Amino acid sequence: MDYKEKYYFMTQKLKILQFPDPKLRKVAKKVTKFDKSLQNLASDMLHTMYEENGIGLAATQVDHHIRLIVMDLSEKRNEPMFFVNPEYKILDNHSTCSYEEGCLSIPGFNEEITRPDKIDLKWQDLDGNTHNDKPKGLLTICIQHEIDHLEGKLMVDYLSSLKRDRIRKKLLK
Ligand code: ZN
């Protein structure tokens, strides 16, 4: 049974904050309690992400300022991933890749962003167990994008201020 069949009846779609909402600039707090309310929020975030056809969502984007990220990079959209208190170290500053990124908080805009592609990632799961990995492929890009959200940073910050202003004006209309 996939996630949707199993949990959709008990979860809800949350409202996603949109750029340039200043709440997207808040720095998220570390998660210290691995309880039912954390699991409920993670489930609601996953529901929201699937409904909006996103591949990743940070708690900041739904106005919960804790260090929690949900993701699903699978083709069938049935492999949910949860990252609590994620952090990474860049292993090689000279090794980068460019990818056309999108963001549920900046709907309608895709921009090519260059990021380091060799990182060492550490995170906790919803039960508080610690994990460590050197991710490959899309996960490397996506997790950096989502951790940026927890820091109050957005993909538009990598663009020129001219371009950023153009996007801001279009989204405010
Ligand atoms: Zn985003």
Q: What does the pLDDT look like over 114-142, one tens digit per residue? A: 999 999 999 999 999 999 999 999 999 99
Distance from Cα 33 to the centre of ligand 1, integer Å: 25
Q: Is residue 144 within 8 Å of residue 69, measured between CB atoms?
A: no
Listed in sequence order, the DSSP H helices in 59-127 are none
Distance from Cα 18 to the centre of ligand 1, integer Å: 10
pLDDT-derived band at 173, boundaries 50, 70, 90:
confident
Amino acid at position 157, single letter: D
Residue 2 pLDDT > 70: no
Q: Is residue 104 within 8 Å of residue 52, measured between CB atoms?
A: yes
Residues with CB under 5 A from ligand 1 (ion): 103
Q: What is the pTM of this model?
A: 0.95
Q: Which of 75, 100, 101, 146 is catalytic?
A: 146
Q: What is the mean pLDDT of residues 74-93?
A: 96
Distance from Cα 3 to the centre of ligand 1, integer Å: 22
Structure tokens at 84: 């609590």
Residue 1 pLDDT > 60: no
Burial of 151 (0-12, 13-18, 19+ CB in 10 A): middle
CB atoms within 10 A of CB 21: 13
Distance from Cα 91 to the centre of ligand 1, integer Å: 23
Express each pLDDT in 30-61 by its tens digit.
999 999 999 999 999 999 999 999 999 999 99
Give the residue among 100, 102, 24, 103 at the shortest CA–CA distance from 59: 24
